Amino acid sequence: MRIGIIGAGQLGQMLALAGHPLALQFRFLDSSGDAPGARVAPIVVGAFDDLSALRRLAGEVDLVTYEFENVPVAALHEMAAKRPCFPPVEALRVSQDRVLEKEMFGRLGIPTPPYRAVDSRTDLDAAVAALGFPCVLKTRRLGYDGRGQRVLKRRSDVGPAWEALGSVPLILEGFVRFEREVSIVGARSTRGETRAYPVVANMHREGILRVTVAPARAPRLQRAAEGYLRCVLDHFDYAGVLTIEFFVEGGRLVANEMAPRVHNSGHWTIEGAATSQFENHLRAILGLPLGDTRAVGHSAMVNYIGRMPDRARVLALAGAHHHDYGKAARAGRKLGHCTVVARTAAERDALLARLVRLVPR
């Protein structure tokens, strides 16, 4: 069985690595021939909307998936006409637009921050009047890792934010004074079997995920998060891994966004869960039984952003699992991560504190 993966970044690389023990073969499509995935499977080099490259990929594989949210929907439709393609194109389409995503959450009864679509300066002024300060102005599409967004604290922030972002459709969201941020990763197979991982706690800085603690100590949130996740999975007749990120505000979940793919906040599952999110994604799209999603201990994952730590010092930590994606260093770029796994939460917290001291900020 040959699987095509659109995008050859670290998520694609980890998917292919998870598929090797299942005797799966992979081909990537990526605009760069030396993306991280190149180390584990061949890359068809071409833009994500390059029809001849998409046709070549389709010709070389039995099934297609994607690891990247900004794949043009038209390209994926093209692909889906030739080969089975999961997760469903409709889930990707909705996830690419923050307004469509929030409308979908609302229809399914999943709470979101208050929001308004903003297509003009007049819309923005009306939205600010309705939501008040502070609020967050974001591009509806193509935002990630906090890019394409501004927090508006006072009236004098509105004009410059409009100047910076106003050339594309926007959304204004009420600022959520969250206690913490959490996410849930789960999978649904083509046969309709569904499993969810434990809810995890995520720490962001400058809009980029820095640390995930798994499981989050959140027994009351688990049931609600799982309920919301299943609702979205069933809504799309979904196959593959899906992630939903939430704010916790006043002890309740408020949905921020979803990702129709394996997710950075699920990297801990490689060593910290009975079955990794990557293997479960593959099982799900192949219609195989899903693997156990239970945590096997207490884990924490730290992203390496912009600079790598000293590998030997990380490896000297017992229980540390170092991942180097092989990317060139650049400010703000995710270059790798490390997961520590321990028997108890206290041991995990101690290991995490030691790991964090080794990771350049």
> Minimum distance from CB of 79 to ligand AMP (Å)?
26
- Which helix (H) or strand (E) segment is 271 a member of? helix 269-272
Question: Any contact of residue 133 with ligand AMP (CB under 6 A)?
Answer: no
What does the alpha-carbon distance between residue 124 and residue 127 come to, in Å, rounded to a whole number?
5
Q: Is 136 in the site for ligand AMP (CB under 6 A)?
A: yes
3-state secondary structure (DSSP) of residue 274? coil
204 lines the binding site for ligand AMP (CB under 6 A): yes
**In this chain, which stretch among 23-31, 153-161, 171-179, 316-324 interacts with ligand AMP, using CB under 6 A?**
171-179
Distance CA 106, CA 177 (A): 20
Which of 243, 256, 275, 277 is close enough to bind ligand AMP by CB under 6 A? 256
Nearer to ligand AMP, 60 or 249 (CB): 249
Q: Which of 88, 146, 169, 306 binds ligand AMP (CB under 6 A)?
A: 146
248 binds ligand AMP (CB under 6 A): no
C-alpha span between 114 and 135 (Å, rounded): 10
**175 makes contact with ligand AMP (CB under 6 A):** yes
Q: Which is nearer to ligand AMP, 146 or 319 (CB)?
A: 146
The amino acid at 32: S
Contact 185, 263 (CB under 8 A): yes
The candidate with the shortest Cα–Cα distance to 242, out of 351, 102, 126, 95, is: 95
Looking at the Cβ atoms of 199 and 320, the one nearer to ligand AMP is: 199
- Kindly state whether residue 67 participates in binding ligand AMP, applying the rule CB under 6 A: no
Transcribe 77-105 into DSSP letters: HHHHTTS-BSS-HHHHHHHT-HHHHHHHH
Tokens of 9: 């970044």
C-alpha to C-alpha distance for 145 and 15, rounded to whole angstroms: 21
Is residue 113 part of the contact set for ligand AMP (CB under 6 A)?
A: yes
Burial 132-163 (b: 16+ CB within 10 A, else e): eeebbbbbbbebeeeebbbebeeeebbeebbe
**Residue 326 binds ligand AMP (CB under 6 A):** no
Q: What is the dihedral of CA 230, 283, 63, 244, to 10 degrees?
A: 30
Work out how close the CB of 331 gets to ligand AMP at its nearest, in angstroms, rounded to a whole number.
Answer: 17
143 scored as a contact of ligand AMP (CB under 6 A): yes
Q: Indicate the residue among 30 and 181 with the shorter CB distance to ligand AMP.
A: 181
- Residue length, the chain? 361
| Least Cβ distance, residue 151 to ligand AMP (angstroms) | 7
Which residues neighbour 77 within 8 Å (Cβ) at sequence distance 6 or greater? 89
Spacing of C-alpha 29 from chain mean position: 19
Binding track, positions 205-234, relative to ligand AMP; x by CB under 6 A: --x---------------------------
Candidate segments 22-30, 118-126, 161-169, 174-182, binder of ligand AMP by CB under 6 A: 174-182
When binding is defined by CB under 6 A, the residue of 30, 67, 101, 173 that contacts ligand AMP is 173
First-to-final CA distance of the chain: 42
The smaller minimum CB distance to ligand AMP, of residues 14 and 248, is found at: 248
Least Å distance, CB 105 to ligand AMP, is: 13
List residues near ligand AMP by CB under 6 A. Answer: 113, 136, 143, 146, 173, 175-176, 181, 204, 207, 256-257
